[in-house]
């Protein structure tokens, strides 16, 4: 508020005018005052004085506060108006406030006048600033709308305009193209647009729109829509809200554009990067086999063969070297067999068929029946949720067999050992769970190596570390994924997900 207030006082009583002025001085209101004693002086002051506020007596000879207030409004003068009167009924107070007065003061209670004047002027100042800001925003919106239309004409964009008060949408041709719908038969209301949203995105997008309407954040988001052909599109959307002078949102305009292809391309890039990473890991595994598992026995064979060429080699040493050659040859043969298994797995194009989980589990139980009876080990399963998968039977059998045999191999001797298998249908995926109560392993220590080739966590048990590597490879070839949770002496829990075809 500026330092000095210019006050136009409509008052025919010189004494009352002096009392009002003294009360303002007493209240430390720095002001300049012009007193109009009648209608003629009042009209002249409106045109020439440019007051910040009008204080008006209610009843003057041949003039009243009602008429003065109407003249102010008719002239388009937007300044506060306070009525000062001798008496005031509740009905009259309501009427004068409805007509546009900001406050009223009873003459025998003038002590409230200074605070009433300063408060009303401060409120008007704030309203003017807010109005100016909204005018600026509205002008920016008009400019934005123009720019958006130009952009839409040169790009695959859709422009939308939502009349919030009347709940009506205005779409350009680009919007109908993006949503793959015709303009006929589509009701341009918010609910019709919302019905096109993907069910999983509705709550999030509705909350983002409400947040924008409350002025909490900018509307800048992505969501999915389902068109008339049940095709899913990913939409990028931005929008700007327009409020009226009281701060109520009345309009929202913005743009949409279809980013489905870009999203798919990004997903493909991620898949390619993931595949390259996986292949790089496999190359490292093969490098390990070549550099260690093949070279070591070869070096032993070459060394032993060279030693046996010595004609003076004692017979007992020749026997030792012969045994070493034999053992190294067996080791070399095992490694080559492992390589063949892996290469056959990668290159195989096996026929898919409908496979029942319960049939696989029954078959494996039958094959290891003797161990189950004598070893105190149980296999239980529940495939009531889903019992079928269209897949490669040989691979799925190998997955079941390896996980079950691992549970049997690494069982604890101090408890009744078991493995429990069950299936679930989760978000269009078939999920298999294998859980045992065996010796488990330290997952934190071995994270990243669980499914590695020749990785072993219990050296006191026989094995080569091929089982889980083969399981993971087969699961991925079938289009699935596998994860594990485990801790020492608390068993292992494997989760396998396959796409539901």
Q: Where are the domains of the chain?
A: 5-131, 155-258, 264-347, 353-499
Other CB atoms within 10 A of residue 500 CB = 14
Say if residues 104 and 82 touch (Cβ distance below 8 Å): yes
pLDDT at res. 294 = 62
Cα gap 336→338, rounded to integer Å: 5
Q: How is 29-77 classified by DSSP, letter by letter?
A: --EEEEEE-SHHHHHHHHHHT--SEEEEESEETTEEHHHHHHHHHHTT-
Say if residues 33 and 53 touch (Cβ distance below 8 Å): no
pLDDT at 337 over 70: no
| Closest to 437 measured CA to CA, from 464, 399, 411, 406 | 411
What average pLDDT score do residues 398-424 get? 88
264-347 fold? Helix Hairpins (1.10.287)
Among 50-59, 148-157, 406-415, which stretch is predicted with the lowest mean pLDDT? Answer: 148-157
pLDDT at 348 over 60: no
The tokens describing 64, both together, are 């009243």
pLDDT at 293 over 60: no
- Burial status of residue 374 (CB atoms within 10 A of its CB: 0-12, 13-18, 19 or more): exposed
- Burial status of residue 397 (CB atoms within 10 A of its CB: 0-12, 13-18, 19 or more): middle
pLDDT at 141 over 50: yes
β-pair partners for 499: 429
What average pLDDT score do residues 231-248 get? 90
Highest mean pLDDT among 13-17, 326-330, 432-436, 487-491: 432-436
Distance of CA 482 to the CA centre of its chain: 25
Those residues with Cβ within 8 angstroms of residue 170's Cβ, 6 or more apart along the chain or in another chain: 160, 161, 162, 163, 188
β-pair partners for 54: 8, 81
Q: For the stretch 431-464, what's the b/e string if a residue is b when 16 or more beta carbons lie within 10 angstroms of its beta carbon?
A: bbebbbbbbbbeeeeeeeebbbbbbbbeeeeeee
pTM: 0.41
pLDDT at res. 434 = 96
pLDDT at res. 425 = 92
Nearest 5°: the CA angle 434, 492, 356 is 10
pLDDT at 278 over 80: no
Say if residues 13 and 35 touch (Cβ distance below 8 Å): no
pLDDT at res. 497 = 94
What average pLDDT score do residues 39-48 get? 92
pLDDT at res. 91 = 80
Other CB atoms within 10 A of residue 394 CB = 14
pLDDT at res. 198 = 93
Say if residues 454 and 293 touch (Cβ distance below 8 Å): yes
β-pair partners for 225: 197, 233
Residue 314 — very low, low, confident or very high, per pLDDT cuts 50/70/90? confident
Other CB atoms within 10 A of residue 113 CB = 23
The tokens describing 481, both together, are 């994924």
211/272: higher pLDDT: 211
pLDDT at res. 321 = 80
Residues in the chain: 501
290/232: higher pLDDT: 232
Among 114-118, 152-156, 319-323, 478-482, which stretch is predicted with the lowest mean pLDDT? Answer: 152-156
Among 5-9, 291-295, 418-422, 438-442, which stretch is predicted with the lowest mean pLDDT? Answer: 291-295
What average pLDDT score do residues 36-56 get? 91
149/369: higher pLDDT: 369
Task: Give the β-pairing of 377-382 and 417-426.
Answer: parallel
Mean pLDDT of the chain: 83
274/6: higher pLDDT: 6
Say if residues 203 and 223 touch (Cβ distance below 8 Å): no
In angstroms and rounded to an integer, the radius of gyration of the C-alpha atoms of the chain is: 43
pLDDT at 1 over 50: no
- Tokens 């839409």 belong to which residue? 152
Pick the CATH number of 353-499 from 3.30.565.10, 1.10.760.10, 3.40.640.10, 3.40.50.10420: 3.30.565.10
Say if residues 239 and 145 touch (Cβ distance below 8 Å): no
Pick the CATH number of 5-131 from 3.30.830.10, 2.40.128.20, 3.40.50.2300, 1.10.240.10: 3.40.50.2300
Among 81-85, 360-364, 453-457, 473-477, which stretch is predicted with the lowest mean pLDDT? Answer: 453-457
155-258 fold? Beta-Lactamase (3.30.450)
Residue 55 — very low, low, confident or very high, per pLDDT cuts 50/70/90? very high
Residue 273 — very low, low, confident or very high, per pLDDT cuts 50/70/90? confident
pLDDT at res. 282 = 59
pLDDT at 458 over 90: no
Q: What percentage of the chain has pLDDT greater than the value 70?
A: 84
pLDDT at res. 422 = 95
The tokens describing 435, both together, are 């859980």
Residue 357 — very low, low, confident or very high, per pLDDT cuts 50/70/90? very high
In the DSSP assignment, the letter for residue 92 is H
Cα gap 307→288, rounded to integer Å: 28
pLDDT at 457 over 90: no
Cα gap 399→228, rounded to integer Å: 41
| Closest to 490 measured CA to CA, from 437, 445, 442, 450 | 437
Say if residues 472 and 456 touch (Cβ distance below 8 Å): no
In the DSSP assignment, the letter for residue 197 is B
413-449 confidence digits (pLDDT tens): 878 888 999 999 988 899 999 999 998 888 877 676 7
pLDDT at res. 393 = 85
Distance of CA 70 to the CA centre of its chain: 55
Q: What percentage of the chain has pLDDT greater than the value 90?
A: 28
In the β-sheet with 103-106, what is the strand arrangement from edge to edge?
Answer: 31-36, 5-10, 53-57, 81-85, 103-106
């Amino acid at each position: 508020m500026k330092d000095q207030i210019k006050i136009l006082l409509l008052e025919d009583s010189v004494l009352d005018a002096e009392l009002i002025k003294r009360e303002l001085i007493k209240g430390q209101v720095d002001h300049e005052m012009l007193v109009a004693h009648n209608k003629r002086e009042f009209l002249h002051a409106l045109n020439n004085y440019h007051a910040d506020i009008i204080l008006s007596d209610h009843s003057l000879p041949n003039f009243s506060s009602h008429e003065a207030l109407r003249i102010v409004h008719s002239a388009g003068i937007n300044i506060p108006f306070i009525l000062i009167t001798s008496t005031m009924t509740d009905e009259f107070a309501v009427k004068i406030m409805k007509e546009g007065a900001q406050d009223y003061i009873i003459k025998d209670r003038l002590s409230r006048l200074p605070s009433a004047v300063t408060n009303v002027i401060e409120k008007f100042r704030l309203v003017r600033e807010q109005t100016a800001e909204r005018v600026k925003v509205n002008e920016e919106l008009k400019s934005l709308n123009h720019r958006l239309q130009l952009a839409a004409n040169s790009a695959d964009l859709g422009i939308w305009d939502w009349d919030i008060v009347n709940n009506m949408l205005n779409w350009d041709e680009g919007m109908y193209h993006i949503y793959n719908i015709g303009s006929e038969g589509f009701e341009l209301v918010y609910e019709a647009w919302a019905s096109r949203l993907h069910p999983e995105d509705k709550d999030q997008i509705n909350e983002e729109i409400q947040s924008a309407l409350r002025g909490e954040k900018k509307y800048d988001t992505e969501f999915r829509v389902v068109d008339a052909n049940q095709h899913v599109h990913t939409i990028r959307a931005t929008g700007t809200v327009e409020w009226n002078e009281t701060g109520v949102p009345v309009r929202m305009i913005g743009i949409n554009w279809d980013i489905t292809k870009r999203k798919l391309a990004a997903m493909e890039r991620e898949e390619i990067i993931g595949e390259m990473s996986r292949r790089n890991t496999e190359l490292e595994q093969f490098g390990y086999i070549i550099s260690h598992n093949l070279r070591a026995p070869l070096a032993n064979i070459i060394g032993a063969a060279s030693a046996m060429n010595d004609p003076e080699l004692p017979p007992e040493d020749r026997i030792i070297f012969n045994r070493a050659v034999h053992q190294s040859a067996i080791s070399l043969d095992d490694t080559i067999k492992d390589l063949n298994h892996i290469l056959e797995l990668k290159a195989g194009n096996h026929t898919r068929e409908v496979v029942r989980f319960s049939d696989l589990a029954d078959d494996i139980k039958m094959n290891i029946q003797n161990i189950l009876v004598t070893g105190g080990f149980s296999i239980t399963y529940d495939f009531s949720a889903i019992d079928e998968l269209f897949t490669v039977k040989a691979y799925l059998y190998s997955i079941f067999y390896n996980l079950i045999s691992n549970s049997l191999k690494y069982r604890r001797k101090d408890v009744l050992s078991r493995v429990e298998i069950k299936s679930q249908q989760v978000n269009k995926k078939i999920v298999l769970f294998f859980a045992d109560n065996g010796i488990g392993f330290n997952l934190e220590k071995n994270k990243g190596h669980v499914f590695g080739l020749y990785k072993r966590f219990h050296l006191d048990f026989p094995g080569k570390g091929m089982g889980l590597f083969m399981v993971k490879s087969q699961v991925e070839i079938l289009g699935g994924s596998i994860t594990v949770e485990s801790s020492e002496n608390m068993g292992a829990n494997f989760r396998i997900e396959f796409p539901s075809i």
